[in-house]
């Protein structure tokens, strides 16, 4: 019998519908895999085996009657940023260790509505602040990939490192993730998986632990472009409980995957050529251009002049919002509370000092600083202005191009511990991805090749607001052309 | 020239007070501003709290449209600019009554901009107070310190309730003006139904910014707009009665003048009024003031209103107090004072109008503002829970107008009616209080009294004022029911006056 855990989400859903196998069998296969692998990879912070089996049996009952939703019986992993009713939700933080929400996030509620099965909660950087999963209070996630000739453990990227690692190591069919500055796309690129961040407002933020409200957006990490489309279909919806949710229908994006890209105009932004960028990244990008050209696309060199300001802008806006969003973790109503304190202020300070890790504290401090009297105009207001310019850059090119192609990351996966010394080099990981968050645009990372060290590399397709369809179309073409089938050698 | 009434004499010369008020009015709404949780008085602790109010992870605010409508209505009532685009900002600070660690307010772009309120002073003159803005914001919860010697308790029922903060220009000059201004705002909001105005429950409260300056400097400020002519202000927080507003201002102005006359300077600070001690006390100075790190709330989109929607609200506005007062004066011929007393309470004004149709309005006004008001006050009621139908007042006045009863008897009739004995007509019938206009009956009484008191009758010729004694006797003999005019005429004729 084939290893069910190696199936794509789309094939698994078809197999379940055809009753080739049951959801219970499939779920058990994943639970077995998780049991064997998770002690090493640390992708899951909590495995909800009982819940999974219960859901699987319910799905089987529906499938037996010829009923069921688009994801009926499909076992998924859930990033621990999504509140799940009755299941601990920590956002990777000691602050929320033991917090069991009495409510369900809209995104996960949509998945259960469509019949998905929850295997457990996936590890992540604390409050989604990080690019390597090393800031998690539950320890770093290991990337199933290793460099040729090295035994060093690599990071799967972050903040959705648990999601990416779990998908790459077949610990779930696909996973939910979230992206504030690249937290879906960078881990996807580091693990040879596909990750898409949709247009801001497509997926509801209700019940998703907030990092930076104006940037946070949920999306999937999956094995194929089609799988990511299938999962995104379910995740997105208009939600009156989120004021920034867009009241527009969600199309069936699986229809876009595989459509010809002939005649599409693809922008290649010259500002994304970085000084000191590894040659293999440049080469991969050129390869991507060549593939799309061969598929009939017209390649247009474009300019996005404010790109160089994107990272500094991001690292003002995101911490500013975070400093306010995370003020609710005060030890009063839920979450960690200091046992020893001398005053109200001391209770706040101690609870937060004990509950938050270093990176979170760093960003909250930056955020409070850029919003403080006397600095607000110079930092925050200016950052908002630059943010508008960055969005304007994109608006200016949409007349000439239908989508934009860039590398997903400036490097392949790096070793755990490598970039911890200097937070700024860690921040550089987001250099190609933050612009779409700042502009609210959809962006996907598609595995497109291997580095010289045998590590996966990704290409990013950026689309117009609400035009995920074109993004999926182009991503599908890249996937076809790249023919990326490599899987990590199992060492864990 | 500054009017003398606005000056305070100090040891070293005259001073004047300058005030601006921030009124916090709880929006009359069944649901909170962003959570949909119920709003109400009398619920048990933390019974009206949603996960959004309690700041749970992943919870998001969604704006209550009704509260927006109420704010727009209030803005229109203040004759203020309604901003088609406004925005919500976060005011960040830590306190246990503030679950999210920030209050959602509108600092940079309020929903309502500039307006003007006309306020009637005690002497019947009018003064204008500029409105700088009205914005929507969330209220905080409540801390309870007296349930335990070692713990403080938090009640979040009020957390997230919608408030309108109405900020005035520094156009208020005396404690009396401040009180009149708050009363006026309160009346307008009650008329509009946008705030119940219940100050006892804290549903309307004021922060009073007080500064003092040398006589004449206020005029210079008005001419130039240069705030340096004004003194340093202190903000007295959360004063929740008219009396306390007046007392707090008087104390605070004196305090500031004394400091300045002793050569000191005023520190900008937030103060609290202690009604028991009758003094204001420092809460925190400007240096200790928190940096609230205001920034636009990224969970909420800018609030964009359509002019047509505002126009529809405007078309639906009830008659405002100023308009009502002017109409009462022109339509019913009432004095400014009487009209002012009637319109001070919307229910009172409605009651008056219900009773005044086709009647002597001045008379109805007197009955409403004197007798009815006094009885209600004695019973701890007001016009909104008035047990006496307006039709009864109308009928009572009609009975007086048509000489069925005298004004004097009317008081007696009113007593019976108030005590629930029926309508005035029924009471008059039942107790036989009809005025005697039958000249025969009166003549008979007059004759008898003159006959019984010949000496007094003779004396009247010398001293015509003594007729009053005869009038009294006749009224007594007729049980007060004789028509006083008829009695007078007949007496004069019989006594040869």
Structure tokens at A242: 């989120």
Strand-pair category, B102-105 with B279-285: unpaired
B24 lies in which domain range?
4-312
CA count, 13 A, side-chain hemisphere, A258 = 7
CA distance A139 to A354: 16
Residue A199 lies inside a defined structural domain of this protein: yes
Report the run of H or E that residue A9 belongs to, with start and end.
Answer: helix A9-17
Asked if B51 lies within 8 A of A320 by C-beta distance, the reply is no
DSSP state for residue A475 in the 8-state scheme: H
Q: How crowded is residue B462: how many other Cβ atoms within 10 Å of its Cβ?
A: 7
Q: Is the model more confident about B461 or about A224?
A: A224
**pLDDT per residue rounded down to tens, chain A (492 residues):** 579 999 999 999 999 999 999 999 999 999 999 999 999 999 999 999 999 999 999 999 999 999 999 999 999 999 999 999 999 999 999 999 999 999 999 999 999 999 999 999 999 999 999 999 999 999 999 999 999 999 999 999 999 999 999 999 999 999 999 999 999 999 999 999 999 999 999 999 999 999 999 999 999 999 999 999 999 999 999 999 999 999 999 999 999 999 999 999 999 999 999 888 899 999 999 999 999 999 999 999 999 999 999 999 999 999 999 999 999 999 999 999 999 999 999 999 999 999 999 999 999 999 999 999 999 999 999 999 999 999 999 999 999 999 999 999 999 999 999 877 678 878 888 999 999 999 999 999 999 999 999 999 999 999 999 999 999 999 999 999 999 999 999 999
* Of A439, A361, A288, A342, nearest in space to A130 by CA: A361
Q: What is the mean pLDDT of residues B463-485?
A: 83
How distant, in Å, are the alpha carbons of A172, A194, A215, A217, B50 from that of A363? 32, 28, 15, 19, 29
Query: Are residues B17 and B72 part of one domain?
Result: yes
CA distance A4 to A7: 6
Q: Are A462 and A468 in contact (CB under 8 A)?
A: no
B interface residues, A as partner, C-beta within 8 Å: 51, 54-63, 90, 92, 94, 96, 99-102, 154, 291, 293-295, 298-301
Asked if B94 lies within 8 A of A330 by C-beta distance, the reply is yes
Closest chain A C-alpha to B56 CA, distance in angstroms: 8
CA distance A369 to A363: 10
- What ipTM is given for this predicted complex? 0.96
Percent pLDDT > 90 in chain B is: 78
CA distance A341 to A349: 9
Q: Per residue in A337-389, pLDDT tens?
A: 999 999 999 999 999 999 999 999 999 999 999 999 999 999 999 999 999 99
Give chain B's domain count.
3
CA distance A242 to A240: 5
A125 lies in which domain range?
4-260+476-482
Q: Are A337 and A351 in contact (CB under 8 A)?
A: yes
Structure tokens at B461: 């010729």
CA distance B453 to B455: 6
Residues listed for chain B: 497
Asked if B295 lies within 8 A of A373 by C-beta distance, the reply is no
Q: What is the mean pLDDT of residues B326-335?
A: 96
CA distance B419 to A316: 72
Phi, psi dihedral angles at B127 (to 5 degrees): -135, 150
CA distance A243 to A206: 9
Could you identify the residue written with the tokens 């004449």?
Answer: B216
Alpha helices by DSSP H, listed for B357-483, are 361-366, 373-378, 390-401, 407-418, 424-431, 439-452, 454-462, 467-477
Residue A67 lies inside a defined structural domain of this protein: yes
Could you identify the residue written with the tokens 């010697």?
Answer: B149
Query: Are residues B463 and B411 part of one domain?
Result: no
CATH number of the CATH domain containing A35:
3.90.1300.10
Q: Which domain-ending residue is among B409, B431, B453?
A: B431
Query: Are residues B107 and B53 part of one domain?
Result: yes
* Of A198, A177, A32, A188, nearest in space to A111 by CA: A177
Query: Looking at the partner chain, which of A243, A332, A380 has a beta carbon nearest the beta carbon of B301?
Result: A243
Give chain A's domain count.
1
Contacts of B276 (CB under 8 A, 6+ apart): none
Handedness of CA B249, B250, B255, B256 (dihedral sign): positive
Q: Where are the beta strands (DSSP E) in A151-243?
A: 174-179, 194-197, 217-222
Residue of B nearest to A212 (CA): B298
Closest chain A C-alpha to B89 CA, distance in angstroms: 11
CA distance B156 to A340: 25
Query: Are residues B351 and B303 part of one domain?
Result: no
Q: Which domain-ending residue is among B286, B312, B338?
A: B312
Asked if A333 lies within 8 A of B54 by C-beta distance, the reply is yes
Q: Are A368 and A322 in contact (CB under 8 A)?
A: no
Asked if A205 lies within 8 A of B58 by C-beta distance, the reply is yes
Asked if B58 lies within 8 A of A207 by C-beta distance, the reply is yes
What's residue B2's pLDDT? 63
Residue A8 lies inside a defined structural domain of this protein: yes
Model confidence band, residue B486 (pLDDT cutoffs 50, 70, 90)? confident
**pLDDT value at B267 more than 70:** yes
Query: Are residues B352 and B292 part of one domain?
Result: no
Q: Per residue in B85-102, pLDDT tens?
A: 999 999 999 999 999 999
Q: Which domain-ending residue is among B312, B337, B362?
A: B312
Residue A201 lies inside a defined structural domain of this protein: yes
CA distance A320 to A466: 27
Q: Per residue in B358-404, pLDDT tens?
A: 999 999 999 999 999 999 999 999 898 999 999 999 999 999 998 88
**pLDDT value at B202 more than 60:** yes
Query: Are residues B195 and B115 part of one domain?
Result: yes
Closest chain B C-alpha to A364 CA, distance in angstroms: 13
Active site residues of A: 79, 159, 183
Query: Are residues B395 and B275 part of one domain?
Result: no
Peptide bond into A210 cis (omega under 30): no
Q: Are A169 and A161 in contact (CB under 8 A)?
A: no
Query: Are residues B377 and B256 part of one domain?
Result: no
For residue A327, list chain B residues with Cβ-Cβ distance below 8 A: 92, 94, 100-102
Q: What is the mean pLDDT of residues B450-474?
A: 84
**Bridge-partner residues for A446, per DSSP?**
A459
Mutate to test the interface with A, among B50, B54, B57 (most CBs of A within 10 A): B57
**pLDDT value at B1 more than 60:** no
Query: Looking at the partner chain, which of A101, A213, A368 has a beta carbon nearest the beta carbon of B56?
Result: A101
Query: Are residues B416 and B465 part of one domain?
Result: no
Q: Per residue in B20-57, pLDDT tens?
A: 999 999 999 999 999 999 998 788 999 999 999 999 99
What's residue A230's pLDDT? 98
Asked if B51 lies within 8 A of A102 by C-beta distance, the reply is yes
CA distance A89 to A110: 18
CATH number of the CATH domain containing B461:
1.10.10
How distant, in Å, are the alpha carbons of A80, A316, B65, B346 from that of A201? 20, 21, 21, 46
- For A275, counting Cβ atoms within 10 Å of its Cβ (0-12 exposed, 13-18 middle, 19+ buried), the class is exposed
Closest chain B C-alpha to A347 CA, distance in angstroms: 11
Query: Are residues B281 and B323 part of one domain?
Result: no
Q: How far is the first Cα of chain A from the last one, in angstroms, to the nearest whole number?
A: 22
Asked if A324 lies within 8 A of B92 by C-beta distance, the reply is yes
Report the run of H or E that residue B266 belongs to, with start and end.
Answer: none
Query: Are residues B89 and B143 part of one domain?
Result: yes
Three-state secondary-structure class, residue B405:
coil
Asked if A330 lies within 8 A of B101 by C-beta distance, the reply is yes
Closest chain B C-alpha to A255 CA, distance in angstroms: 32
Phi, psi dihedral angles at B405 (to 5 degrees): -130, 160
Q: Per residue in B107-162, pLDDT tens?
A: 999 999 999 999 999 888 999 999 999 999 999 999 999 999 989 999 999 999 99
B8-34: b or e for each residue (b if 16 or more CB lie within 10 Å)?
eebeeeebbbbbbbbbbbbbbbebbbb
Query: Looking at the partner chain, which of A323, A328, A371 has a beta carbon nearest the beta carbon of B55?
Result: A328
CA distance B167 to B114: 10
Q: How crowded is residue B357: how many other Cβ atoms within 10 Å of its Cβ?
A: 11
Query: Are residues B368 and B256 part of one domain?
Result: no
Structure tokens at B219: 């005029």
For the CA atoms of B286, B289, B293, B299, the dihedral, rounded to the nearest 10 degrees, stands at: -130
Structure tokens at A191: 């693990």
CA distance A383 to A380: 5
Query: Looking at the partner chain, which of A102, A241, A373 has a beta carbon nearest the beta carbon of B291?
Result: A373
CA distance B308 to B421: 52
Alpha helices by DSSP H, listed for A236-381, are 279-294, 310-325, 344-355, 358-371
CA distance B290 to B403: 71
pTM comes to: 0.91
CA count, 13 A, side-chain hemisphere, B306 = 4
Asked if B57 lies within 8 A of A344 by C-beta distance, the reply is no
Q: Where are the beta strands (DSSP E) in B226-340?
A: 234-239, 269-274, 279-285, 295-296, 303-304
Query: Looking at the partner chain, which of B58, B90, B94 has a beta carbon nearest the beta carbon of A206?
Result: B58
Q: Are A326 and A364 in contact (CB under 8 A)?
A: yes
CA B269 to chain centre: 29
What's residue A316's pLDDT? 98
Q: Are B268 and B232 in contact (CB under 8 A)?
A: yes
Could you identify the residue written with the tokens 């500002």?
Answer: A271
Strand-pair category, B126-138 with B115-120: antiparallel
For the CA atoms of B374, B377, B382, B386, the dihedral, rounded to the nearest 10 degrees, stands at: -60
Mutate to test the interface with B, among A127, A206, A333 (most CBs of B within 10 A): A333
Three-state secondary-structure class, residue B420:
coil
């Amino acid at each position: 019998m084939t290893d069910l855990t190696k199936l794509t989400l789309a094939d698994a859903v078809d197999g379940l519908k055809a009753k080739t196998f049951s959801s219970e069998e499939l779920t058990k296969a994943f639970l077995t895999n998780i049991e064997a692998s998770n002690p090493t990879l640390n992708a899951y912070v909590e495995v909800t085996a009982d819940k999974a089996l219960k859901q699987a049996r319910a799905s089987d009952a529906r499938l037996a009657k010829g009923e069921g939703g688009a994801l009926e019986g499909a076992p998924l992993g859930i990033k621990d940023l999504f509140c799940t009713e009755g299941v601990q939700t920590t956002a990777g933080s000691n602050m929320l260790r033991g917090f069991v929400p009495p409510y369900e996030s809209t995104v996960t509620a949509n998945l259960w509505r469509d019949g998905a099965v929850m295997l457990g909660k996936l590890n992540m950087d604390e409050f989604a602040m990080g690019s390597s999963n090393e800031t998690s209070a539950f320890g770093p996630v290991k990337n199933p990939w290793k460099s040729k000739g090295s035994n060093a453990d690599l990071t799967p990227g972050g903040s959705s490192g648990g999601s990416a690692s779990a998908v790459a190591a077949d610990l779930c069919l696909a996973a939910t993730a979230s992206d504030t500055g690249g937290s879906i796309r960078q881990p996807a690129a580091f693990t040879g998986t596909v990750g898409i961040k949709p247009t801001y407002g497509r997926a509801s933020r209700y019940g998703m632990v907030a990092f930076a409200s104006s940037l946070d957006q949920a999306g999937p990490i999956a094995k194929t472009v089609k799988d990511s489309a299938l999962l995104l279909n379910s995740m997105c919806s208009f939600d009156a409980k989120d004021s920034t949710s867009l009241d527009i229908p969600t199309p069936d994006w699986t229809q876009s995957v595989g459509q010809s890209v002939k005649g599409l105009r693809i922008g290649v932004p010259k500002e994304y050529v970085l000084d000191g960028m590894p040659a293999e990244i440049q080469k991969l990008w050129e390869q991507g251009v060549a593939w799309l050209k061969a598929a009939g696309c017209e390649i247009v060199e474009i300019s996005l002049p404010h790109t160089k300001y994107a990272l500094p802008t991001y690292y003002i806006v995101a911490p500013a919002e975070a400093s306010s969003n995370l003020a609710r973790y005060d030890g009063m109503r839920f979450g960690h509370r200091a046992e020893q304190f001398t005053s109200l202020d001391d209770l706040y300070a101690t609870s937060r000092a004990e509950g938050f890790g270093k990176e979170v504290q760093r960003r909250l401090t930056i955020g409070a600083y850029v919003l403080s009297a006397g600095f607000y105009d110079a930092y925050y207001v200016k950052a908002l202005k630059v943010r508008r310019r960055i969005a304007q850059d994109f608006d200016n090119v949409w007349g000439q191009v239908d989508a934009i192609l860039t590398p997903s990351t400036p490097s392949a996966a790096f070793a755990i511990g490598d970039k911890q010394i200097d937070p700024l080099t860690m921040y550089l990981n987001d250099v190609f991805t933050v612009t779409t968050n700042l502009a609210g645009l959809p962006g996907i990372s598609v595995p497109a090749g291997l580095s010289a060290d045998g590590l996966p590399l990704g290409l990013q397709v950026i689309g117009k607001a609400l035009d995920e369809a074109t993004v999926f179309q182009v991503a599908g073409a890249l996937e076809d052309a790249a023919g990326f089938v490599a899987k990590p050698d199992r060492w864990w | 020239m500054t009017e003398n009434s606005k000056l305070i004499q100090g040891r070293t010369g005259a001073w004047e007070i300058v005030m601006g008020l921030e009124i916090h009015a709880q929006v009359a709404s069944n649901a909170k501003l962003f959570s949909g949780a119920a709003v109400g008085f009398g619920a048990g602790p933390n019974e009206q709290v949603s996960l959004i109010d309690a700041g749970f992870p992943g919870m998001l605010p969604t704006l209550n449209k009704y509260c927006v409508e109420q704010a727009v209505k209030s803005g229109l009532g203040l004759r203020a600019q309604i901003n088609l685009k406004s925005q919500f900002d976060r005011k960040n600070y830590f306190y246990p009554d503030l679950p999210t660690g920030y209050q959602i307010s509108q600092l940079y772009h309020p929903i309502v901009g500039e307006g003007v309120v006309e306020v009637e002073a005690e002497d019947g003159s009018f003064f204008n107070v500029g409105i700088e803005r009205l914005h929507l914001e969330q209220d905080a919860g409540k801390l309870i310190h007296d349930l335990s010697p070692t713990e403080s308790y938090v009640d979040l029922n009020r957390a997230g309730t919608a408030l309108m903060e109405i900020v005035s220009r520094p156009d208020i000059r005396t404690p009396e003006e401040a009180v009149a201004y708050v009363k006026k705002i309160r009346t307008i909001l009650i008329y509009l139904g946008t705030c119940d105005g219940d100050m006892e429950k804290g549903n309307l409260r004021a922060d009073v910014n007080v500064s003092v300056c040398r006589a004449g400097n206020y005029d210079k400020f008005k001419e130039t707009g240069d705030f340096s002519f004004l003194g340093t202000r202190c903000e007295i927080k959360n004063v929740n009665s008219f009396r306390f507003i007046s007392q707090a201002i008087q104390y605070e102005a004196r305090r500031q003048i004394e400091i300045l006359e002793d050569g000191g300077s005023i520190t900008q600070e937030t103060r609290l009024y202690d009604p028991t001690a009758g003094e204001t006390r420092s809460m925190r100075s400007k240096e200790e003031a928190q940096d609230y790190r205001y920034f636009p709330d990224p969970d909420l989109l800018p609030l964009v209103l359509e002019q047509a929607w505002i126009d529809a609200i405007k078309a639906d506005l009830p008659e405002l107090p100023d308009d009502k007062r002017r109409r009462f004066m022109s339509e019913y011929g009432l004095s400014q004072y009487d009209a002012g007393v009637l319109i001070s309470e919307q229910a009172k004004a409605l009651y008056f109008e219900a009773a005044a149709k086709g009647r002597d309005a001045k008379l109805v006004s007197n009955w409403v503002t004197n007798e009815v008001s006094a009885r209600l006050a004695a019973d701890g009621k007001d016009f909104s829970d008035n047990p006496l139908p307006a039709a009864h007042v109308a009928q009572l006045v009609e009975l007086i107008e048509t000489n069925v009863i005298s004004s004097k008897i009317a008081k007696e009739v009113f007593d019976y009616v108030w005590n629930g004995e029926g309508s005035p007509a029924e009471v008059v019938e039942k107790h036989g209080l009809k005025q005697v206009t039958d000249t025969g009956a009166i003549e008979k009484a007059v004759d008898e009294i003159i006959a019984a008191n010949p000496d007094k009758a003779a004396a009247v010729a010398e001293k015509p004022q003594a007729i009053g004694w005869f009038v009294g006797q006749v009224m007594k003999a007729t049980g007060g029911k004789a028509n006083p005019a008829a009695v007078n005429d007949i007496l004069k004729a019989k006594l040869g006056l």
